[in-house]
């Protein structure tokens, strides 16, 4: 260590990658509010209100609904580690990076993992899941509603119903979907779900909203062995969030402030309005991207509105385009993950990022850098198509 680095001064980006998304000024202000103690009555009230608002956003009455003190992957591990004991069978649907991650987590928890696999970008049919439930009789089914690596949307109601019929607990990844499209924990009958703060909630990363149904809590209570993670053990974590207020670990106070404000903004807008906003600007962006000749990695039948994975045209270098967008416009889009690395861009329209302004600047900037890199795109076509969509009365 020869010298002390200068104070940071990060630039203001337009965050159109797979998360984090843009953060509203009032959320950053809440993040910087004075730190109080983790057992201070002021903070305990923040926790109570957070739980209420998380229940509203998850559309659930589940008592065990809280923010895990880690990012989305910690939420995934919380759900799996609390429900799985060594030797339990877990059926995990893998059609992208995050399904694959859940299978890895389950194996580390000692599960007999049965993977149901589909190529990246595909989704599963209720029939094939039912067949696997019949064959393997798993304790839990792990499935990703919104696969952040591919932009594919897995419809959940039929699958959750089948799982309940087979007395299998449903663990759902809604990291990218929550607050950007319908997530109906109680109506669908989801047993455990986890999300992240830095996607459609537009809060900085650092916490993972999690909810457990009564059925999942009963499974937790019936465990023979302790949860293998002390930090993520919900039996203890819920005693801190519940009326006991038993000290477990020191919660990330200021991150919880920020999530409180992000949830407030979400509920003030209204969930249905927010879901419709995501769908609306997604359609405008999709019209523009297709007019520029960029094709989606998944068919229109199961595209996520907030995560648009488009194929990189032949002859165009992934990293060059992303770097130029960042340098010239402060605009971040995401690259591909796993087998899609170098093959797709992931363009996010999440939470505060999801605006007409960002749709238009993204299309205009993409056009400029693609042209500059020798791709013959029809000049002005992207913006024109988006504007045509916005001008349509039905839009």
In the window 43-72, what residues touch a second copy (CB under 8 A)?
43, 46, 49, 52-53, 55-56, 69-72
Sign of CA dihedral 258, 263, 266, 269: negative
Cβ–Cβ < 8 Å for 357, 377: no
Q: Which of 325, 337, 369, 386 lies at the binding interface for a second copy (CB under 8 A)?
A: 337
Piece in contact with a second copy (CB under 8 A), picked from 2-10, 112-120, 185-193, 299-307: 2-10
The residue among 87, 73, 328 whose CA lies nearest residue 210 is: 73
Rounded to the nearest whole angstrom, what is the least distance from the CB of residue 72 to a second copy in the complex?
A: 7
Is 254 near a second copy (CB under 8 A)? Answer: yes
Number of residues that bind a second copy (CB under 8 A): 83
Distances (CA, A) of 256 to 31, 36, 58, 229, 234: 8, 11, 17, 22, 18
159-218 residues in contact with a second copy (CB under 8 A) are 196, 198, 204-206
Candidates 41-49, 153-161, 290-298, 308-316; binding stretch for a second copy (CB under 8 A): 41-49
Q: How far is the CB of 287 from a second copy (least distance, A)?
A: 26
With CA atoms as reference, report the closest residue to 47 among 253, 300, 247, 188.
Answer: 253
**Site membership for a second copy, residue 300 (CB under 8 A):** no
Report how far residue 282's alpha carbon sits from residue 178's, in angstroms, rounded to the nearest whole number: 16
What is the strand order of the sheet 169-173 is part of?
A: 64-68, 208-212, 192-194, 169-173, 140-144, 89-94, 112-117
Instruction: Please tell me the distance from the alpha carbon of residue 359 to that of residue 347, in angstroms, as a whole number.
Output: 10
Question: Looking at 8-16, 136-144, 362-370, 383-391, which segment touches a second copy (CB under 8 A)?
Answer: 8-16
Q: Among residues 67, 83, 94, 105, which is the contact residue for a second copy, using CB under 8 A?
A: 105
Which residue in 156, 251, 285, 349 binds a second copy (CB under 8 A)?
A: 251
What's the min distance (Å) between Cβ of 279 and a second copy?
23
Q: Which of 15, 351, 358 is nearest to 199 (CA)?
A: 351
CB atoms within 10 A of CB 338: 12
Among the listed residues 79, 92, 210, 253, the single contact to a second copy using CB under 8 A: 253
Q: Which stretch binds a second copy (CB under 8 A): 31-39, 184-192, 295-303, 384-392?
A: 31-39
Which residues within the stretch 220-239 sit at the binding site for a second copy (CB under 8 A)?
Answer: 226-232
Report how far residue 143's alpha carbon sits from residue 257's, in angstroms, rounded to the nearest whole number: 30
Choices 99-107, 114-122, 186-194, 356-364 (CB under 8 A): range interacting with a second copy: 99-107
Identified binder of a second copy from the candidate list 64, 79, 109, 354, rule CB under 8 A: 109
């Amino acid at each position: 260590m020869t010298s002390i680095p200068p104070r940071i001064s990060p630039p203001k980006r337009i965050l159109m990658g797979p998360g984090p998304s843009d953060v509203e000024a009032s959320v950053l202000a809440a993040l910087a509010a004075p730190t109080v103690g983790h057992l201070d009555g002021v903070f305990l009230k923040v926790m109570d209100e957070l739980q209420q608002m998380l229940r509203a956003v998850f559309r659930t009455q589940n008592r065990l609904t809280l923010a895990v003190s880690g990012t989305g992957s910690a939420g995934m591990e919380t759900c799996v580690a609390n429900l799985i004991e060594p030797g339990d069978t877990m059926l995990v649907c893998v059609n992208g990076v995050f399904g694959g991650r859940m299978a890895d987590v389950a194996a580390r928890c000692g599960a007999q993992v049965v993977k149901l696999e589909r190529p990246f970008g595909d989704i599963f049919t209720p029939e094939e899941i039912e067949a696997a439930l019949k064959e393997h009789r798993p304790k839990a089914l792990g499935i990703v509603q919104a696969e952040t690596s591919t932009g594919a949307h897995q419809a959940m109601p039929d699958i959750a119903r089948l799982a309940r019929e087979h007395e299998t607990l449903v663990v759902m990844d809604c990291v990218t979907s929550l607050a950007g499209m319908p997530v109906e924990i109680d109506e669908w009958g989801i047993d455990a779900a986890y999300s992240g703060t830095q996607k459609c909630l537009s809060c900085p990363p650092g916490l993972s909203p999690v909810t457990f149904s009564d059925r999942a809590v009963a499974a937790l209570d019936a465990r023979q062995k302790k949860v293998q993670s002390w930090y993520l053990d919900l039996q203890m974590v819920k005693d801190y969030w519940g009326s006991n207020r038993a000290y477990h670990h020191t919660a990330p106070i200021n991150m919880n402030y920020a999530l409180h404000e992000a949830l407030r903004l979400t509920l003030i807008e209204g969930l249905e309005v927010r879901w419709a906003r995501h769908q609306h600007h997604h359609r405008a962006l999709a019209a523009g991207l297709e007019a520029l000749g960029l094709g989606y990695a998944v068919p229109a039948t199961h595209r996520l509105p907030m995560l648009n994975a488009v194929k990189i045209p032949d002859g165009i270098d992934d990293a060059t385009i992303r770097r130029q967008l960042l340098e010239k416009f402060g605009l971040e889009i995401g690259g591909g993950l796993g087998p899609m690395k170098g093959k797709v861009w992931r363009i996010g329209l999440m939470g505060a990022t999801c605006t007409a302004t960002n749709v238009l600047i993204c299309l205009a900037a993409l056009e400029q850098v693609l042209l500059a890199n020798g791709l013959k795109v029809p000049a002005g076509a992207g913006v024109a198509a988006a504007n045509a969509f916005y001008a349509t009365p039905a839009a």
